[in-house]
Structure 1
Amino acid sequence: MTAGEHASTSALNVTGTVAADISRTIPVVSLANGRVVGVHARLGDYVRKGQLLLEVQSTDISGAFDQYLKASNDERLANTQLERAKLLYDRGALSKSQLDIVENSELDAKTDLVAAEQQLRVLGVDKTNPSAAVKIYSPATGVIISQNVTDASAAGVSLSGSSTAFTIADLSHVWVICDVYENDLATLRLGQSAEIHLNAYPGRTLKGTVSDIGAVLDPSIRTAKVRIQVENPSMLMRIGMFASVVLYGQRPEMHASLPATAILHLQDRDWVFAPAGDNQFRRIQVRTGMTLPNGQQEILAGLQPGQQVVAQALSVQNSVAQR
């Protein structure tokens, strides 16, 4: 029989793990120094933007509020002095240069007041109802993937402008990070399609695209990190999950195809028999690919389309063994 022809794209099988999309992770920042007195969320929780996460008791609040009160009093006094200076100027009892000095003083006092109010807003303090504790709210909706504060923090652990109290990630898009050997890197391109299979959901296939090919190889195992962007709207993929990935090439390649009966699996290798004249046969090692419809098998290497092979490889092998 004659080997057939089958068009397919190249496929590279690799493994990887699910990771958060760094561009969609947000650290929770406490701009106030002090003791953590209340933790209202935990690692793994799904939180919404504006949700209370923790409370920090801070002396920064009293200092900022004291500065605000002083600035408010100074501005009120400067405003009173300005009104008096304007009255004296209108009556000719005050020169224009002296009025300008008073006006500049009032402007400086107003600027200091605005700065003091802004400092309270940055700390999350209501100037009309100050509290001894700063309330830290979630800056975004997502899942808490990192937590560095616990209930024990209320016993006296201090936060000094820490950006790592919590890390929140939007997991509607995730990464699958794969290790690819340097010999296979030439087959990869940005935007290349990928199929992801998870151990947790056998039989389910997810789609992704290659978004980054690492520029640095691991010197010990000679692999590069390849990043695959995957949509995860139903939150099936969780951080740390193991994934099997098939990376498909962008251009179709022509390969031979044979009936499965023409292929002999022997000693962990695949073989076919080709006529060699005078009722003789030559055994050829091949590398098989995917299983095709109608009992056909893809041949990736060792045989070209149009070559003659024996349709029943097992029968030939049995005949050879009996001789």
Structure 2
Amino acid sequence: MQAARRTKSIIAVILIVIISAVILYYRLYNKDEIVGYLETTGDVEATEVEVASKISGRIVWLCCAVGDVVQSGGEAVRLDSAELEARLAGARASVASANEAVAEARVLHENAVAGLDASKGQALAAASEVRRVQALLIDAKANLERADGLFSGGFITKKDMDFAKAQHDALQAQLATGAAQKRTADANVKIFALGIKAAAAGISTALSRVNEALAAEAASKVALSDTVINAPADGVIVYKSYESGETVPPGASIYTINDLSNMWVRVDIEETVIDKVRLGAPVQVFINNRFDRPYDGRIIEIGELAGFATQRDVTRGRQDIKTFRVKAGLLKPDGAFKPGMSATVRIDTSVT
């Protein structure tokens, strides 16, 4: 009786081993034998973003440790800003100085314009005076010649002759003075015209300096703003490359963030069954061997190029098997998934 029971137990164990072997074989070599499904394993991945510095600087504050949650736009890193603040103050002083230079150049221009207008008026007045004196001098010269003839004939006195000569000489002196005034006024017109050009050039130069100073100020503002580095996305800190007090070069990653709201399982599907996988096909994902708790998802990417057989396949003597990389996106990860975890993916192959 006991021998019979022992025999039955041995048979039961053998059956369990056989069934387990069949299931194992089925899972490893006949993944698509379940009608309408393809089951395989893969690794959980997530969108990965870097928190990087645009400028070189010494880190004075870090928001988080590995594993902490960050929000998009929140402050993640602060760099030492003392030098950049001083540079910005200097740039602002340069802007103020350049604006003062523009104001001074404009005053010079206005004075030159006023001087030119006055000189033109003086030149016109001097020219008019010269013409008036020239007309009077013509009459005075005629009177002098007439007086000289009358004096020679004894018809007028020496006093009359001297008066005519004095009038003539006075008008000649006036003409010389007027001509000199006209030359001075004409010269002033040229001088102030050149002054206007020089002042205009000075304004242009000063404005260029203002623009340069404003550009330097803007660059300083941008550099100063870059001392505060914000998180580019919601997620969890998975790696920290620097500590407070260290100097970070431009472009270097300080934090690595995984966006846990955008996760997927990467699986390698053999070429023999890849034709049964469709974009958008529903999937069920299982982790921690909890096949009673599926997570819904969809196929979001199918690789275009085949890769070589995995190491596991090679060890089984299946070197010729090639695979395609497929991503199964998770609809609601709900915090249960972590990048790097192993997961089982059951793909609905009934979708056409």
Q: TM-score range by the shorter chain?
A: 0.5 to 0.7
* Map 1:101-250 → 2, pairs under 5 A: 101-125=201-225, 134-151=227-244, 154=245, 157-199=246-288, 202-221=291-310, 222-232=322-332, 234-250=334-350
Residue 177 (structure 1) shift: 0.6
SS of 1:172's partner is: strand
Aligned residue for 2:68?
A: 45
Q: Pairwise CA RMSD of aligned residues?
A: 3.0
Higher strand share: 1
Q: Deviations over 1:170-229 (max 9, x none)?
A: 321212111111211111122222111121755222221212112333324322211122
Cα distance change on mapping 1:11 and 1:233 into 2, 3 Å: closer
Task: Work out the CA distance in 2 between the residues paired with 1:71 and 1:180.
Answer: 65
TM-score (norm 2): 0.57
Task: Work out the CA distance in 2 between the residues paired with 1:72 and 1:143.
Answer: 44
* Map 1:51-70 → 2, pairs under 5 A: 51-57=74-80, 61=84, 64-65=87-88, 68-69=91-92
Answer whether contact 2:70 2:237 (CA < 8 A) is retained. yes
SS of 1:235's partner is: coil
Q: Verify: 1:13 aligned to 2:113, yes or no.
A: no
Residue 97 (structure 1) shift: 4.0
The one-letter code sitting in structure 2 at the alignment partner of 1:143 is V
Determine which structure has greater relative contact order: mean sequence separation of CA pairs < 8 Å that are 6+ residues apart, divided by chain length. 2
The one-letter code sitting in structure 1 at the alignment partner of 2:74 is Q
Cα distance change on mapping 1:12 and 1:115 into 2, 3 Å: same
> Aligned pair count?
231
Task: Work out the CA distance in 2 between the residues paired with 1:208 and 1:96.
Answer: 77
Answer whether contact 1:49 1:141 (CA < 8 A) is retained. yes
Unpaired runs of 5+ residues, structure 1, are: 1-7, 127-133, 253-323
Q: Deviations over 1:244-288 (max 9, x none)?
A: 101112448xxxxxxxxxxxxxxxxxxxxxxxxxxxxxxxxxxxx
Task: Work out the CA distance in 1 between the residues paired with 2:329 and 2:305.
Answer: 19
Task: Work out the CA distance in 1 between the residues paired with 2:252 and 2:332.
Answer: 26
SS of 1:229's partner is: strand
Task: Work out the CA distance in 2 between the residues paired with 1:245 and 1:105.
Answer: 70
The one-letter code sitting in structure 1 at the alignment partner of 2:297 is G
Answer whether contact 1:72 1:113 (CA < 8 A) is retained. yes
SS of 1:170's partner is: strand
Cα distance change on mapping 1:89 and 1:146 into 2, 3 Å: farther
Residue 168 (structure 1) shift: 2.6
Answer whether contact 2:85 2:224 (CA < 8 A) is retained. no
The one-letter code sitting in structure 2 at the alignment partner of 1:166 is Y
Answer whether contact 1:81 1:102 (CA < 8 A) is retained. no
Unpaired runs of 5+ residues, structure 2, are: 1-33, 117-191, 311-321
